[in-house]
Amino acid sequence: MGKHDQGLVTLKQSVRKQKKVYFRNRWIFVFLFTIIIFGAACVGRSGEEKSSAVESADAADAGEPDLAGEPVNLTIAMFEENGELRRQVEAFRQSHPAWKIEIQTYTRSDQPEEDGIARLQREVMAGKGPDIIDFGGGFSISDIAGCYTEDLMTYLAREGMEDYFENILSVFRYKDGLYAVPTGFALHSFAGTTENLGGLEHWNIAEMMECYERQRADRILVPGETKKQVLGWILSGNINYYIDWETGTCAFDGQEFQDMLAFCNLFPDTLKMAEDYSVKQIFADNKALLMPVLIEDVYQICEEEYIFEEKSITYIGFPVEGESGTVVTPGRSVLAISKSSKQKERAWEFIAWCLGEEGQSQLKWGLPVRKSVFEAQLQNALEAEYEIDSEGNRKPVVKNQILFEGEEPVEIYAISEAQAEKLRELIASAEMHNALDDRLYRILLEEADYYFNGDKTLEETARVIQGRAQMYVSERVK
């Protein structure tokens, strides 16, 4: 995902490869991503464009006509290196040998003259640029606010919208259209015991603050809580509550936002974690209110039951104004068709393949947006498999593991029907995304720091945030 530094990316790749969940690192993923985003912004970024052609094995193959009688040449703009996209291109060309697809790499930057998004918009408006754009895991609504990509709703309607999780695709809509589509997704939420949450099934910021205030003497909000981390995860769930990208307006100077900043200021400045720190033990002792939930594959729905053991669990989610606090994160690829493309139907043919049975089945990260592929994965997870060991004994196959640092791994042989149904419910209830704009996010964190450090009053901080955020949003939507 485009908002993480290389260390976190490496960690997550290792987790996916080994199909294991290292919980201590998961806490860091969920609660330290504010620091990761902030740190990543300070790293120098190159605005140079790189290109690499994904071509046939020999020259004769590249010149072979397409099934329709013409060779096809497409260009894809790729934001951040994306092995998922490269694998998809290679797999696509196995059945389309006449196609030549060139991948050009663009880079996001805080410098307007070096920013790949700004450069791409200029190219498209000049009638140039790529045929397809892959915004990658760093996608945010601001990427398409310039209205330089095609509305994909018409294309999807031809394929049949009922084949996809329509609510997942809908969270990526801008105005009345879908100008970029994710090929996969993950779910973010929070879970706690039904008793501690007072029977609430969802909450807004005020209700969350009230619930925690009643329990401050007995338990922490989340393991590893700090001012910035709490602010970060609240914003990741409801930042779009304060921004209207369609009208280009912000609302960070109201009382509700100030109350939220004051709440975050209750927590410590720095993360304090003992050498023998055990997340599992914290929840076993009922010393934390919330557990962060990250579901990137069908097996991760098992983890909350293991953490809370026999207790009744509520997936209460992020504090938002709505019926569901479950948030959608885009997968490795978020695809769009450039308005300047002269081959829009060919471009859609590639995107449709990525959204089809074959392309979706080959995703290495995230849940598929195509229902049938998701259900196939779920069915496989529901069925225990067996193998014969070297001594001739029939043994169940370990499909996944839950690991806590310093403890024995918990082996998963299959998920239960109840867990499968809960995952379906979480997906069906998701109605918002946390595709955050890096630069806007950093504005909020930078200015909040002045308040947390006592350098500015709460009112001053909110006023400055409103001014800077409004200026930035106005620039992105014009």
Tell me if 33 is assigned to some domain.
Answer: no
391 or 99: which leads in pLDDT: 99
What is the overall mean pLDDT for the chain? Answer: 83
Q: Which residues fall within 8 angstroms of residue 320, CB to CB, at 6 or more apart?
A: 202, 204, 237, 238, 241, 432
pLDDT of residue 68: 47
pLDDT tens-digit profile of 405-424?
667 789 999 999 999 999 99
pLDDT tens-digit profile of 47-102?
334 344 443 333 333 333 454 446 899 999 999 899 999 999 999 999 999 999 99
pLDDT of residue 4: 35
Q: 40-66 in b/e burial notation, b at 16+ Cβ within 10 A? A: bbeeebeeeeeeeebeeeeeeebeeee
pLDDT of residue 310: 82
pLDDT band per the 50, 70, 90 thresholds, residue 227: very high
User: Residue 212: pLDDT above 80?
Assistant: yes
pLDDT of residue 113: 81
- CB count within 10 Å of CB 310 equals 5
Among the listed residues 385, 362, 357, the one whose alpha carbon sits nearest the alpha carbon of residue 372: 357
**CA–centroid distance for 122 within its chain:** 27
| Across 24-33, 262-271, 453-462, least confident range | 24-33
Tell me if 215 is assigned to some domain.
Answer: no
Output the domain CATH number for residue 122. Answer: 3.40.190.10
pLDDT tens-digit profile of 285-340?
999 999 999 999 999 999 999 889 889 999 999 988 777 889 998 999 999 999 99
Name the pTM for this structure: 0.82
Tell me if 403 is assigned to some domain.
Answer: no
Tell me if 458 is assigned to some domain.
Answer: no
Tell me if 417 is assigned to some domain.
Answer: no
Can you read off the two tokens belonging to residue 381? 């997870």
190 or 236: which leads in pLDDT: 190
pLDDT of residue 152: 97
pLDDT band per the 50, 70, 90 thresholds, residue 278: confident
User: Residue 453: pLDDT above 80?
Assistant: yes
| Across 125-139, 277-291, 444-458, least confident range | 277-291
pLDDT band per the 50, 70, 90 thresholds, residue 274: low
What HEC string does the chain produce? CCCCCHHHHHHHHHHHHHCEEEHHHHHHHHHCHHHHHHHHHCCCCCCCCEEEEECCCCHHHHCCCCCCCCCEEEEEEEECCCHHHHHHHHHHHHHCCCEEEEEEEECCCCCCCCCHHHHHHHHHHCCCCCCEEECHHHCCHHHCCCCCECCCHHHHHHHCHHHECHHHHHCCCECCECCCEECEEEEEEEEEECCCCCCCCCCCHHHHHHHHHCCCCCCECCCCCCHHHHHHHHHHHHHHHCEECCCCEECCCCHHHHHHHHHHCCCCCCCCCCCCCCHHHHHHCCCECCEEEEECCCCHHHHHHHHHCCCCEEECCCCCCCCCCCEEEECCCEEEEECCCCCHHHHHHHHHHHHCHHHHHCCCCCEECEHHHHHHHHHHHHCCCEEECCCCCEEECCCEEEECCCCCCEEECCCCHHHHHHHHHHHHHCCEECCCCHHHHHHHHHHHHHHHCCCCCHHHHHHHHHHHHHHHHHHHHC
- The predicted model gives 465-471 an average pLDDT of 93
pLDDT of residue 18: 36
- The predicted model gives 465-472 an average pLDDT of 92
What's the number of domains the chain is made of?
Answer: 1
Residue 163 structural domain: 44-184+331-372
User: Residue 391: pLDDT above 90?
Assistant: no
pLDDT of residue 273: 65
User: Residue 380: pLDDT above 90?
Assistant: yes
Tell me if 437 is assigned to some domain.
Answer: no
CA distances from 89 to 57, 60, 310 (A): 14, 19, 46
User: Residue 10: pLDDT above 50?
Assistant: no
Tell me if 92 is assigned to some domain.
Answer: yes
Tell me if 378 is assigned to some domain.
Answer: no
